[in-house]
Amino acid sequence: MFRLLEDDRGRMESTVTIEIDGYPVIARIGETVASALLREGASWSRTTPVSGARRAPYCMMGVCFDCLMLVEGEGLVRACQTLVRAGLKVQRQTGPRKVGPSC
Amino acid sequence: MLKPDLLIVGAGPAGMSAAIVAARAGLKVVVVDEQPTPGGQIWRGVEANAGTSRGRALGSQYCSGLATVRAFRECGAVYWPSTRVWQIEPTLGTYVTGPGGTRVIAPRLVLIATGAQERPAPFRGWTLPGVMTVGAAQILLKNPGSVPSEPVWIAGCGPLALLYAHQLIRMGGAVAGFLDTRPSTPLRESLRLAGRAVLRSSGELAKGMSWYAGLRHRAGRYVPGVVDLQALGTDRLEGVRYRTAAGRLAEIRTSLLLVHEGVLPELHTARSLGCEIQWDAGQAAYRPVLNEWGECSHPDILIAGDAAGIGGAEAAVHRGRLSALRILQRLGKVAAEPGMTEESCRAALARALALRPFLDRVFRPRGEIFAPDDDTIVCRCEELRVRDLRTVLAGSVGPNQLKAFTRAGMGSCQGRQCGLTVAALIAAAEGRQMGEVQPFRVRPPLKPVRLCDLAGLADEGLSS
């Protein structure tokens, strides 16, 4: 849904690769998981616990909780408040959260 | 346990400005903020962007935040970024979780400077991937510098929608069309307010008019008087159907729609402490009941910036300073800067707020957003439609009972997206004014907390 501006595309030295559901995603250092996700073709972040409907980041400022994703080492967190780092593994949250170790 | 004189929640214009005055005067100040860098939403990423082409495109008002951020960095306040406050007790014991783990802070006074959020305005399909707020898109513009991949459709009412369109076009993006949901303002009232606005802040007014003119000129299409929206699609947005006040129905194809219906003060933090609120009809929003210093119904809590009532960044700076001056007075200190007086702050605040009555009136949200139809999801978290609330609404129960019966407001966002609409539906069902209906009671924690964060309190000696 989104693309980086022309003047920023060349700055490869400031990028890292993260994994979303096992697929590599190139992200800019200093951006959030949600903002990297929104440049992907499938930019949804979770399915809801009630109906299983897809949701994507909506507010980007931490108040809507539609970007909840499973982040390695952190558990279920708001992707719009989570900064990328090299090798970070992220999974879309499908349905209700299962009980299990997360941090 | 940290025991500062002052805890400030939020490092936007108000929080930073208050911290600078308080720390320079010798108070021990702790500032916690959810973002990784200072600036709030308005000056988000300003340290990285100022002086670059992106900064120039975002505008001089944006870049002017750099001076405040720099002064804040150097003022001596303890600053905890990427940290969320999840509970403040009435005795001011405050629980926060951030990169340093979970900590407890026991300040003498608290200043809430948590800013604003966009007004939730439900319509059919607004939960589909591809529907986002204009504020969200503006955040992406500031960091990492993302723009919609295709010319974008914007629907809304409010200065932010116009500002975003203006910034996007300057940065090389394109607006496919603008569905203007602004209701028309009665002519006589517009002229009266415009006249006053011209006298007080002609520069700001001219800037806004130029955004409007630019938008009407540069957007592929401009549709005034839109009263109803419907997002179409199953797994993601595929199109938008809209209706105008004149009754015209039309449909567009798009995979991204940005919506905006103004902003609301962040009230969760204050209300969790029992701070009194009131309905502000002019701003179509609840706001805290405050005196001229930002003091609220809780004796040791002050509120500044947009969390005190929408006023914009410039007003937030002066409200932050005024609250800090009051805090200094209460703790027996004086401001270190010679020019930092109550009189100068009040004069500057009045100037900053001069255009506000005009903006509030001209961008007053249309009534339709408070009365969505039966098929519209109200509570995004629990996926409850207006229809699901109808039977309970008929029983005259009030928001907290409605929450217990239906789960509206019980999901992850804790009513931040449905609270206003539910209050409006109750008011309408019972024939009461918004001021007579209180929104949901706020329950701890303010933000979801993991069990391991709670367990981390053991390090603070509070596990028992």
In a mutagenesis test of the A interface, which of B381, B452, B454 is the best target, namely the one with the most A β-carbons within 10 Å? B381
State yes or no: pLDDT of B40 exceeds 60. yes
Search chain B and give the residue with CA nearest A44: B129
- Which region among A83-87, A98-102, B16-20, B226-230 has the lowest average model confidence (pLDDT)? A98-102
Q: How is domain A4-91 classified at the CATH fold level?
A: Ubiquitin-like (UB roll) (3.10.20)
Q: What is the largest CA-CA distance in chain A?
A: 44
Search chain A and give the residue with CA nearest B235: A54
% chain B with pLDDT above 90: 85
In a mutagenesis test of the A interface, which of B132, B154, B267 is the best target, namely the one with the most A β-carbons within 10 Å? B132
Search chain A and give the residue with CA nearest B258: A58
Q: What is the mean pLDDT of residues B202-214?
A: 85
Mind telling me how many Å the CA of A65 is from chain B's nearest CA? 6
Angle B432-B434-B438 (CA atoms, 0-180°, nearest 5)?
100
The reply to whether residue B133 touches residue A53, judged by beta carbons under 8 angstroms, is no
CB atoms within 10 A of CB B433: 10
Which helix (H) or strand (E) segment holds residue A68: the answer is strand A68-71
Token representation of residue B160: 């932010």
- Render pLDDT for B308-335 as a digit per residue (tens, 0 to 9): 999 999 999 999 999 999 999 999 999 9
- The residues, ordered by sequence, that sit 6+ positions from A18 with a Cβ below 8 Å of its Cβ are A24, A25, A27, A33, A36, A84, A85, A86, A87, A88, A89, A90
The reply to whether residue B148 touches residue A1, judged by beta carbons under 8 angstroms, is yes
State yes or no: pLDDT of B28 exceeds 80. yes
Residue A51 contacts B where some CB pair is shorter than 8 Å: yes
Q: What is the pLDDT along chain A (103 residues), one digit of tens a residue?
A: 999 987 655 555 689 999 999 999 999 999 999 999 999 989 999 999 999 999 999 999 999 999 999 999 889 999 999 999 999 999 999 998 877 665 4
Show the DSSP H helices in B273-312 as ranges.
none
Which residues of chain B are within 8 Å of residue A38 when distances are taken between CB atoms?
A: 140, 146
The reply to whether residue A61 touches residue B127, judged by beta carbons under 8 angstroms, is no
Shortest CB distance from B140 goes to which of A30, A35, A75? A35
Stretch 9-38 of chain A: residues touching chain B, C-beta under 8 Å: 28, 30-31, 35, 38
Q: What is the pLDDT of residue B458?
A: 74
Q: What is the mean pLDDT of residues B233-240?
A: 97
The reply to whether residue A102 touches residue B452, judged by beta carbons under 8 angstroms, is yes
Q: What is the pLDDT of residue B463?
A: 43
Which residues of chain A are within 8 Å of residue B382 when distances are taken between CB atoms?
A: 50
Q: What is the pLDDT of residue B92?
A: 96
Shortest CB distance from B140 goes to which of A2, A51, A81? A2
Could you state, in order of their start, the residue ranges of all structural domains in chain A?
4-91
Q: What is the pLDDT of residue A23?
A: 97
Q: What is the pLDDT of residue B268?
A: 97
Q: What is the pLDDT of residue B202?
A: 78
The reply to whether residue B139 touches residue A61, judged by beta carbons under 8 angstroms, is yes
Q: What is the mean pLDDT of residues B394-411?
A: 89
Instruction: Report in angstroms the alpha-carbon separations of B427 from B398, B421, B439.
Output: 9, 10, 10
Token representation of residue B453: 């964060």
Token representation of residue B66: 């750099």
Shortest CB distance from A2 goes to which of B41, B148, B416? B148
Q: What is the DSSP string of B199-213?
A: HHHHHHHHHHHHHHH
Q: What is the pLDDT of residue B464?
A: 39
- If phi over 0 gives left and psi between -120 and 50 gives alpha, with beta otherwise, what is residue B294? left
State yes or no: pLDDT of B246 exceeds 90. yes
- Which region among B216-220, B231-235, B368-372 has the lowest average model confidence (pLDDT)? B216-220
Search chain A and give the residue with CA nearest B115: A61
Query: Cβ distance B260 to B135 under 8 Å?
Result: yes
The reply to whether residue A59 touches residue B133, judged by beta carbons under 8 angstroms, is yes
Q: What is the pLDDT of residue A102?
A: 53
Shortest CB distance from B144 goes to which of A8, A50, A59? A8
Q: What is the mean pLDDT of residues B27-45?
A: 98
CB atoms within 10 A of CB A11: 13
Q: What is the pLDDT of residue A7?
A: 64
The reply to whether residue B133 touches residue A63, judged by beta carbons under 8 angstroms, is no
A-B CB pairs within 8 A amount to 118
State yes or no: pLDDT of B305 exceeds 70. yes
Token representation of residue A44: 């949804």
- Render pLDDT for B126-171 as a digit per residue (tens, 0 to 9): 999 999 999 999 999 999 999 999 999 999 999 999 999 999 999 9
- The model carries a pTM of 0.96
In a mutagenesis test of the B interface, which of A3, A46, A64 is the best target, namely the one with the most B β-carbons within 10 Å? A64
Question: If you count them, how many residues does chain B have?
Answer: 464
- Render pLDDT for B333-372 as a digit per residue (tens, 0 to 9): 999 999 999 999 999 999 999 999 999 999 999 999 999 9
- Which region among B152-161, B215-224, B370-379 has the lowest average model confidence (pLDDT)? B215-224
Shortest CB distance from B413 goes to which of A48, A50, A65? A65
pLDDT-derived band at B270 (thresholds 50, 70, 90) equals very high
The reply to whether residue A35 touches residue B381, judged by beta carbons under 8 angstroms, is no
